[in-house]
Amino acid sequence: MKQPDQKVETIQVEELIHRVHSFHDDGYRLVQISCAQEGDAFEVTYSFDKNLSISHIRIPATPENPIPSISKIYLASFVYENEIADLFGIPFSGIAIDYKGTFFRTSVPHPFGTSQITVVKKKPEEQHE
């Protein structure tokens, strides 16, 4: 069955807290926060759900500019914000429970945020070298 098309609304970082407050006041549930690379920068998407209908808002992000945490509005956001900070290196300001980079244990810092991972293909006989 074809699912309904999804619309993602892009907003500015300055509008984020106001918009999230509106979702909260209208009784929406925070579904998830995700991050993806967009060119040289990133985009962070917030998803909310009410009455089986899901809405998304998106902001641009860079590792240099902290994003205001929404954990004062939706406490549950702390897991997503810590996850994005650890995997992408995008800072959040004012997270209610801030792990300061220790939520995910990764062998290299911010593995999804930079191209520091190189895949090396080896033949079976070379694998122990």
Partner 1 sequence: MSKKIIVPFGPQHPVLPEPIHLDLVLEDERVIEAIPSIGYVHRGLEKLVEKRDYKDYVFISERICGICSFIHGATYCQAVEQVMGVEIPRRAEFLRAIWSEYSRMHSHLLWLGCFADSMGYENLFMDCWKVREKILDVLERTTGGRVIQGVNRVGGVSRDMDKEELNRIKSEIPGLRADYVELTRIFDEDLTVQSRTKGIGMLPKDTAWELGAVGPTIRGSGHAVDARMTGYGAYDELDFKPVVRTEGDCHARCMVRTGELFTSLDLIENAIDRIPEGDIIVPVKGNPSGEYYAQTEQPRGEVIHYVKANGKKNLLRHRVRTPTLANVPALVQMLAGCELADVPVIVLTIDPCIGCMER
The site for partner 1 (CB under 8 A) is made up of 1-3, 6, 8, 29-32, 34-37, 45, 47, 52, 54, 56, 74-76, 78-80, 83, 86, 97, 99, 102-106, 111-112, 117, 119
Q: How far is the CB of 104 from partner 1 (least distance, A)?
A: 4
Cβ proximity of 33 and 84 under 8 Å = yes
- Give the nearer residue to partner 1 in terms of CB position, either 14 or 102: 102
Q: How far is the CB of 54 from partner 1 (least distance, A)?
A: 7
Q: How far is the CB of 16 from partner 1 (least distance, A)?
A: 17
Q: Report residue 30 as tokens.
A: 């925070």
Strand partners for 55: 48
Strand order in the sheet with 8-10: 8-10, 53-61, 41-50, 29-38
The answer for residues whose C-beta is within 8 angstroms of residue 15's C-beta and 6 or more apart is: none
- Give the nearer residue to partner 1 in terms of CB position, either 12 or 53: 53
